[in-house]
Amino acid sequence: MRALEEIRFHGRGGQGVVLAATILGTAAAIYEGKHATSFPSFGAERRGAPVTAFTRIADAPLRRRSQIYQPTIVVVLDDSLFASVPVANGLVGGGWLVVNSHRRISELGLPASARLCLVDATAIAREVLGVPITNTTMLGALAAATGVVGLAALERAISDVLPTALVARNQAAARAAYERVVARV
């Protein structure tokens, strides 16, 4: 992990983008002893509309509270956003794109300079959770590809943030994604 990781999440309303950023910040701050902040950015605020959320993770206290314009990691919960939202804008050289997609890497038209992690999080979520909500699944992929947090910390944060009835299945979805990522480094 770099001394400062700036993670930008892209998804659609109803996919749990804001919750994913919160869980990631919780995992880093509480279970890995790092400093973290997480916050959303809303636009139309309706189901299906593009939503962005942010998490900063650092070894030192964080004072910056602005949106993230030059992320080290971009997490995309819905690959249909590539057609309408410039999700990779500002991604630093050598940064990570963690993408939920069933398509092949060559079909996505992603920047060659980015390190890429692909996982079919929708299929995993349907299989494990019974619904296509991919937030915790994508966090498992993020942990596997980037090492920004460990899987154990992520599972504990899921337990802290989600209602008890949803914890075990969401931890299983994160583990499944952690094991199934396809990464291009």
The tens digit of pLDDT for each residue in 73-104 reads 999 999 999 888 899 999 998 899 999 999 88
What is the value of pTM for the model shown?
0.93
DSSP string, 103-162: S-HHHH---TTSEEEEE-HHHHHHHHTSS---HHHHHHHHHHHH-SS-HHHHHHHHHHHS
Is the pLDDT at 43 greater than 70, yes or no?
no
Which tokens hold the place of 29?
């701050």
**Interval 102-122: pLDDT, tens:** 988 777 777 777 899 999 999
Least confident window among 43-57, 119-133, 151-165: 43-57
Please tell me the total number of residues recorded for the chain in this structure: 185
CA dihedral 96, 97, 100, 104 (to 10 degrees): -110
- Flag the least confident range among 23-32, 110-119, 122-131, 156-165: 110-119
Cα end-to-end span (Å), the chain:
15
Q: What is the pLDDT of residue 136?
A: 98
Tokens coding 158? 């899921």
Fold exhibited by the domain 4-184:
Pyruvate-ferredoxin Oxidoreductase; domain 3 (3.40.920)
Please give the single-letter amino acid code of residue 102: H
Q: What pLDDT score was predicted for residue 1?
A: 61
